[in-house]
Amino acid sequence: MQKVIILGITGSVGATALRILNNDPEKFYLTGFSYHSNFKQAQDIARIWKPLAVSCTNPHIQAEEIEYWKKEGILFFERMEELLSIEYDAVLVAVVGSIGALATKTAADQGKRILLANKESLVMAGSIIMESVAKNSATLVPVDSEHSSLFRLLHNSRAIDSRSIKKLILTASGGPFRTHTPEEIMQTRKEDVLKHPTWNMGQKITVDSASMVNKALELMEASHLFGMDYNHLDAVIHSKSLVHAILQYNDGSHSFHVSHPDMVYPVAHALYYPHAAPEILPSVALGDYEQISFERIDPKKYPAFFIGKEAGARGGIFPSIFNAANEKAVSLFLEDKIRFQQIPAAIEHALNKIPDQPASSLEDFMEIDQMARDIVSEYFKGKYA
C-alpha cells in the first residue's frame, strides 16, 4: 500500500487524485493532506480516510479548526511542509503558486517520490530542486497535462537517440480570447477572463491561461524537467486540448500525445508510476476526436507569454521575478484593484527593476520573490482601477 500526502486536496487536481484513491483503497492510504479554506470538505475527507496529519494554508485559519483536529486525534501542522515529517511514500504537490516550492524541496531532500502539479516550484528555484532530486535519488513525476505527456513521450522514445529530438512542444488552448482581436481583449471584463473554454480550474490558473502566462511558466518548468534550453522548447495553440504535447524530430516527423481533456489521465499516471494505471475513464475512439489543428501564438494578444519566454531564456533569478510579479498582479486583478490588461506591464516593470544577482539557495530565491511582489505593489500604488 502506498502512503500518499496530498497538498492542496480541495483544489481541482487534489480532488481528482482523491477520486483515484477512492477508486483503489487497497492500493493507497491518504496519510496526510493540506487544504486552504474548505474546512467542511476537509472534515469529510478526514472522516473517510482517517489521516495521521493535516495542515491549513490559510493564514486566517480559525482557532476552532485547529481545536477540532486536536480533538479528532489528528496532528495539525501550521506550516504545510511540516506534513512531510510524517511517514509517507509519495507527495502530490497540487497547491498553486510559489508556496509549493519549500514542500517540493523538502521532499526532494528526503529522497521521496514527488508528483509535481505545482509548476511554480521549478520556475522559482528549479536548479536547486533538480540538484536535490539527483543528489538524494528522489523521483519527480510531472502532473501538469503537458509535462506528463512529454514525460510519457520521452519515456516511450528512450530507444531513440536524444540528439534526434529537435524540439519539445507544449500546446495551449488559447484561453477565452483565442478568437478575440487585441482591441477586444483590451476591453475585457473579469467575468470574461474567468470563462475558460475547456478546463475547469481555480481562478488564478484560469487568469494565467487567459494571459498565457501559464504557458510561459510551463516552458520554464519543462526546461528544468527535461534539461532542454529554449532553442529546443516551443508552444502552439491547440484549441481542442486533445493533443497535450509534441516531440519534433530532426527528420521532420512528430509524435503527439493525445487524450480527452481530463486531469484524471496525468494524475493517475503519476500516482501509479512506474506501473501502468488502470482504466479509470472509458477510452475515446479515434473517430470521436474532433479535427486537430494548431495556431501560432500572437504576440499582440498574449504579450505576457513572450515576456515570460524571454525571462526563461535569461534564466537565473528572472523566472522567479516573472512568477512572483504575475502572482501579485493576478491577486490584485482578482480583488478588482487592477484591470487584466495591466498584468503584463507590471511583470515587465519588475523584470526591469531588479538587477541580475546570484542566488544559490531557496532562501535567496524567496527574497527575490518578495522583492518582485513589493515592486508590483508599489507600481500600482495610486493606480488602482
pLDDT in tens, 133-170: 999 999 999 999 999 999 999 987 654 566 789 999 99
Domain match, 138 and 155 both: no
Q: How far is 180 from 308, CA to CA, in rounded Å?
A: 21
On the question of pLDDT at 122 being above 70, the answer is: yes
Are both 32 and 130 inside the same structural domain?
yes
**CATH assignment at residue 110:** 3.40.50.720
Number of folded domains in the chain? 2
Q: What is the Cα Rg of the chain in Å?
A: 20
Q: How far from 40 is each of 10, 14, 65, 128, 341, CA to CA, in Å?
A: 10, 15, 10, 37, 36
The reply to whether 326 falls in a domain is no
Q: Which pTM was predicted?
A: 0.91
Are residue 40 and residue 63 in the same domain, yes or no? yes
Q: What is the pLDDT of residues 284-313, one digit of tens each?
A: 777 777 778 999 999 999 999 999 999 999
- pLDDT tens profile 324-343: 999 999 999 999 999 999 99
The residue among 142, 173, 204 that closes a domain is 142
Q: Which of 177-181, 195-199, 375-379 has the lowest mean pLDDT?
A: 195-199
Of 315, 340, 373, which residue is a domain's last? 315
Whether 158 and 298 map to the same domain: the answer is yes
- Three cell numbers at 310? 524571454
Residues 118 and 264 in one domain: no
Where in the sequence is the domain holding 57, given as residue range(s)?
Answer: 2-142
What is the pLDDT averaged over residues 59-63? Answer: 91
Residue at a domain's end among 107, 126, 142: 142
Residues 177, 103 within the same domain: no
**3-state DSSP helix/strand/coil percent for the chain, to nearest 5?**
50, 15, 35
